[in-house]
Structure 1
Amino acid sequence: MFLVVLSSLVALLHLYLWRRLVLDTTRPGPARRVGTVALVLAVAVMFAALALGTRTDPAVARWFAWPGYLWLAVFFYLLLILLVLEVPRLALRSWVRAEPEPTGPGLSRRTLLARGSAAVAGVAAAGLVGYGTAVAMGPPTVTRAPIALRRLDPRVAGFRIALLSDIHLGPIIGRDLTRRIVEIVNAERPDAVAIVGDLVDGSVADLADAAAPLADLRSTHGTFFVTGNHEYYSGYAQWVEHVRTLGITPLRNAHTVVTHHGGRFVLAGVNDATAYQWQDPADVGAALRGRDPELPAVLLAHQPVDVEDAVRHGVDLQLSGHTHGGQLAPFDLAVRLQQGVVGGHYSYGDTQLYVTRGAGFWGPPVRVGAPPEITVVELRPLR
């Protein structure tokens, strides 16, 4: 039902685009027909990418995923810009209505205003998407985040966790980005690597090769993994088992004690917040059951909203992803409404939260205002 409602809404919004970009700017004839057909094809390819992009062999899916997802980004910005331009259109309504009856072949004020609005929206949307594509397809930057924890043994000071999230291997992101991420992480020489979900959009059969370079991740204490919501769309059980073959340790509502230079802390992980829909719910209490309460606890959780449970269970630091930093500004405003946070460092009393923007992207290969990142979290004792 949700997909039906969403599809209907998107179709209605495209009718608005058709009116502003095609109907208002052309006379009846070939130009209007071409514009209408082009918009219908763009919508069809976009729906194909959304419905089939993760259910089809990536070698085939990329042929419609690229144009379909790019149109989704263009559609997003065209819609926003045209809605903003409704304000000056409304302000100029009296000017348009005051136009004398046309006596020649020139453009009417109404058509001139419509074409001007369409041109501004088209150029701005294309520019934003072009810029955002270059950013999204570029290498992730490294963000360094020193975080002080109460109760942290001074012998653990300087412990560095390479935080990865939202790689989204699939029809567009493949082995090349995975290899690049591994090279960047290994160059940082971390003490541990944490992959906090949304690693994949597709099955093991289709994406095992794309994920294979993760076996080359190197750190003092190994690589740990928790599921994100997209693992559940992709067959989470097969991926939990597959990452083990890459030398990665899943933390499924469980914890381990990390001993570093004689000091210790608890590293825990929970399943994704939506995993209850697959009868595999997140359980922070179970993840921390039996832990030494004198040791600081670092929790890996895909979605920042888990911080409420983290606070209740005395977690010192939660590391999350999921938000993509908004990915397409100003979509970060909607992300903040749903998650409460977008990216960076937050405090909730004695519990701290760090949210990384992620190293990949979902859907459109576009990032505007939210470049991809790998975060290196450095643990420090609270002075």
Structure 2
Amino acid sequence: MIVRRNFLRLAAGFLFASLSTTSYAVGVEPMLRMKTVTYRPRLPNWPDGLRLRLVLLADFHACDPWMSAARIASIAEKANSLQGDMVLLLGDFLSGMRLCTGHVPPEDWAAALSGLSAPLGVHAILGNHDWADDHEAMARGKGPLLAQRALEGIGVPVYDNRAVSFEKDGHRFWLAGLGDQIGPLRPMDDLPGTLAQVSDDAPVILMAHEPDIFPGVPARVAITLSGHTHGGQIRLFGRSPFVPSRFGSRYIRGHIIEGGRHLIVSAGLGMSGIPVRFGAPPEIVVVELGGEAAA
């Protein structure tokens, strides 16, 4: 039998552990535990001599106090220090989270991102929240979206089912980006139409906010880069109770290889739904292509 004193000790310990865990998940991991993760995939048919360093930033979900304009500016500064050839923004700039003190206006978070720079530029796609939380666009039933206007206002091109060619180290490659696959009005992605714009056999880097497109991506694409999942946002004992993907945890985070095709999914930076991250700290992702080591 548990005597009253022992019961109170157990209850107090349980309460302390619960409060400590909650405090960590709300105030520590999402705000103070940002890390940099580097992948060096060895891609089939990648040109010898083409070395490309990509810095990926996904899922800002701008809102106070969790992802303020000041914090976004500090993330941009950190991203610049990683010296990428390109910076790729993988969607979900807006946040519909109700448990916040206010939403950061698009012009403010865009100004915070305006300091991003890279030799081959900064490039973006949009995500499902950039549609769902843009009430004016939802009412109109069409774009342009607030996030798109904000990004283009600072000189960042938004890829909406578009492919553009680049050259580095004497080699040509393509950067392609899809429209959002979920689309609260309708799916906006057009993978066949996007790849039809590629006019030669140079490698293609594909930006797709949701990784669910990956099973349908042809081997013609060298690598697919995604966000959206937040790494599960909450992971308990190695599992996530909810992953926003019809494939569950199959594409939750990291470097995935299927049938010789490569996908990298960022756990992202912000939060949606509830202001909690546990076991899935925010991250900046670096992808090094054409190096010696694989990861």
CA contact (8 A) 2:63 2:103 kept: no
- Corresponding residue for 1:305? 212
CA contact (8 A) 2:181 2:187 kept: no
CA contact (8 A) 1:204 1:239 kept: no
Shift of 1:377: 0.5
Gap runs ≥5 in structure 1: 1-94, 97-105
What amino acid is the match of 1:347? I
For the pair 1:184 / 2:78, whether they are aligned, the reply is yes
**Aligned runs of 1:192-203 on 2, under 5 Å?**
192-201=86-95
CA distance 1:122–1:192, shift in 2 (3 Å): same
- Corresponding residue for 2:250? 340
- Corresponding residue for 2:149? 241
Counterpart Cα distance in 2 of 1:345 and 1:363: 25
Of 166, 188, 195 in structure 2, the residue corresponding to residue 258 of structure 1 is: 166
What amino acid is the match of 2:287? V
What secondary structure sits across from 2:221 in the alignment?
coil
Shift of 1:266: 1.4
1:162-212, CA deviations, whole angstroms, 9 ceiling, x for partnerless residues? 001011102321111111111111111111011111122269983321331
Shift of 1:126: 1.3
CA contact (8 A) 1:226 1:251 kept: yes
1:53-102, CA deviations, whole angstroms, 9 ceiling, x for partnerless residues? xxxxxxxxxxxxxxxxxxxxxxxxxxxxxxxxxxxxxxxxxx79xxxxxx
Q: What's the RMSD between the two structures over aligned residues?
A: 2.8
Counterpart Cα distance in 1 of 2:209 and 2:221: 15
Counterpart Cα distance in 2 of 1:126 and 1:220: 46
What secondary structure sits across from 1:160 in the alignment?
strand
CA distance 1:205–1:355, shift in 2 (3 Å): closer
Counterpart Cα distance in 1 of 2:29 and 2:104: 29
For the pair 1:272 / 2:180, whether they are aligned, the reply is yes
1:237-260, CA deviations, whole angstroms, 9 ceiling, x for partnerless residues? 121122101111111011111211
Shift of 1:287: 1.4
What secondary structure sits across from 1:216 in the alignment?
coil
Counterpart Cα distance in 2 of 1:120 and 1:229: 41
CA contact (8 A) 1:136 1:367 kept: yes
CA distance 1:122–1:287, shift in 2 (3 Å): farther
Shift of 1:223: 1.0
**Aligned runs of 1:299-378 on 2, under 5 Å?**
299-311=206-218, 314-330=220-236, 332-335=240-243, 338=248, 340-378=250-288
Counterpart Cα distance in 1 of 2:127 and 2:74: 22
The total of aligned residue pairs comes to 273
With normalisation by structure 2, the TM-score equals: 0.83
1:89-122, CA deviations, whole angstroms, 9 ceiling, x for partnerless residues? xxxxxx79xxxxxxxxx96x9xx86x77754543
Counterpart Cα distance in 1 of 2:269 and 2:178: 21
Counterpart Cα distance in 2 of 1:180 and 1:215: 12
How high is the sequence identity, in percent, across the aligned residues?
A: 28
Shift of 1:366: 3.1
For the pair 1:169 / 2:77, whether they are aligned, the reply is no
Counterpart Cα distance in 2 of 1:364 and 1:122: 21
- Corresponding residue for 2:137? none
- Corresponding residue for 1:220? 119
CA contact (8 A) 1:321 1:355 kept: yes
CA contact (8 A) 1:145 1:377 kept: yes
What amino acid is the match of 2:250? G
Bigger relative CO (Cα 8 Å, ≥ 6 apart)? 2
CA distance 1:270–1:296, shift in 2 (3 Å): same
What secondary structure sits across from 1:186 in the alignment?
helix
Counterpart Cα distance in 1 of 2:85 and 2:268: 20
Task: State the structure with more CA Rg.
Answer: 1
CA contact (8 A) 2:54 2:88 kept: yes
